[in-house]
Structure 1
Amino acid sequence: MPDTEVGPVRARGAGDLPVVAFWSDIGCPWASLALHTLYEAMERLAAPVLVDHRAFPLELINREPTPKTIVDVEVAAIAARVPGTGWRRWSAPEWTYPSTMLPAIEAVQAAKLPEVGGLAAAGQLDAALRRAFYRESRPVAVHSVILEVAESCDLLDTRALSAALARGLGREQVYAQLRVSLTPRIQGSPHLFTADGYVVHNPGVHSSWTDAPERGGFPLFERYDADWADALVRRLHDGT
């Protein structure tokens, strides 16, 4: 069944691990920064959290591909302030740059299926796809590339994922989540929710634009308060 809830559905978790619902687009650099920060906090505190990925598909919301010119300047601004992301400028031929992120987003949703791997596997695949895009300049819109990336995910059954994608599984979830994304409850990518009422959009980021992106403006990434992730992980594990 497609996701219709805003917050995490605890039944999708593994064991007693806490869950955060993370609404985003894989092609959104700000969302990928938030995930990088959250995963670093989990590792530093030795406190794992499951990320329940929900689709905020920018190209469906905006009715156009996300412009490479905007992604490029956002990646540059973020990587300059947070070099630990390991991001690089797009280095592959321009014609291989993804014009859509929907196949990758659908694959993450399909990975939630029990026979593919479940919620933890979906989180692992999402992280691997973002790494392939932001660090390795791989065309993650291509089916074969998605499956190659999936091979690096030890929690995921790649053959089961391939079979699920061949049946179109994952797409229904994306469109169900799109309907929620178009409501005022979701402010943008990323937007985080937890079962105990924590809600935050684009956490820790203080930024503005010199002019509208479509007029050639540049993002001013003025400050990043990364301690939001430590506070969230402690809250989920300790209730503090």
Structure 2
Amino acid sequence: MTHTIEPGTATVWSDIGCPWASLALHTLRAAAADRGQELLIDHRAFPLELFNSQATPKFIVEPEVIVIGARRPELGWRVWSGAEYDYPSTTLPAMEAVQAAKDPAIGGLRGSDELDAALRHAFYAESRCISIHPVILELAESCPNVDAAALADALERGAGRAEVYAQWRTAQGPEIQGSPHLFAAGGYAVHNPGAFFEWTGDPQQGGLPRLDDYDASWAKDLLDRLAGQG
């Protein structure tokens, strides 16, 4: 294992611009809220644009948003309704902010997770450009455990960027298979839990994602494991 897994904490490797990761995180957070269980998530970046040497194409993200949003309407997702020139061309600044927010003086793991959730909701449900710091910092203001002013100062100094690049290098190893990949102490490791889907063909040639089933019971199993580690 090339990365530390803390007992009682779910470590999640993902890209904020990955709909499957956002589905998994929403499922896990909702399950924890339903049972009143405290949930700690240590976010690690799986920056798709660095792996692929290009911005994640809208023609891939949007069909995934549609099939996931139709299956799980409680997400409140919709197709991009903002101006085309506002569509995020990068999610690196957002992921850097989530890493910077881990600083205990800014938010710690709780604040970092609040910011991650706010950024995802802003992108998928509100069609906001999460590529720019003014939007990121406005969302940080809504996070109870984030000191938005301290985050702004940290981002000015470049906080979070080195962490994202270091995590990208770690994610190139064989243990981390993609976004999302969830880990917990005791050997738990699951890539894209609960989702049974495939693309019908090359998305550049008109292929579409087909979500055959989504089993959310994985979240209960993971929460049980995390509760037993406390």
Asked whether 1:8 is paired with 2:13, we answer no
C-alpha offsets along residues 153-190 of structure 1, whole Å, 9 cap, x if unaligned?
01000010000000001000001000011111110000
- Which of 123, 127, 131 matches 1:133? 123
Cα pair 1:7 1:193 within 8 Å, conserved = no
1:178 matched to 2:168: yes
- Residue 231 of structure 1 and its aligned partner are, at CA, apart by 1.1
Are 1:169 and 2:162 matched, yes or no?
A: no
Matched, 1:78 2:68: yes
| Alignment partner of 1:90 is 2:87 | no
* Secondary structure class of the residue paired with 2:212: strand
Q: 1:216 deviation in Å?
A: 2.1
Q: Which residue of 1 aligns with 2:207?
A: 217
* AA at the equivalent of 1:68: K
Question: What SS does structure 2 have at the residue aligned with 1:22?
Answer: strand
**Corresponding position of 2:96:** 106
How far apart are the structure 2 equivalents of 1:34 and 1:220?
Answer: 17
| Identity %, equivalent residues | 56
TM-score by length of structure 1 reads 0.93
Aligned residue pairs: how many?
229
Instruction: Determine if the alignment matches structure 1 residue 63 to structure 2 residue 53.
Output: yes
Give ranges in structure 2 of 5+ residues lacking alignment.
none
Paired residue secondary structure (1:8): coil
Cα deviation per residue 1:8-50 (whole Å; 9 max; x = unaligned)? 345xxxxxxx201000000000000000100111011111210
Instruction: Indicate conservation of the 8 Å contact 1:6/1:21, yes or no.
Output: no
Separation (CA, whole Å) in 2 of partners of 1:175 and 1:208: 29
| Contact 2:6–2:184, Cα closer than 8 Å, also in 1 | no
- In structure 2, how many angstroms separate the alpha carbons of the residues matched to 1:146 and 1:155? 15
Which runs of 5 or more structure 1 residues have no equivalent in the other structure?
11-17
Residue equivalent to 2:178: 188
What is the CA–CA distance in structure 1 between the aligned matches of 2:96 and 2:89, rounded to whole Å? 15
Q: TM-score, normalised by structure 2?
A: 0.97
Q: Residue 15 of structure 1 aligns with which residue?
A: none
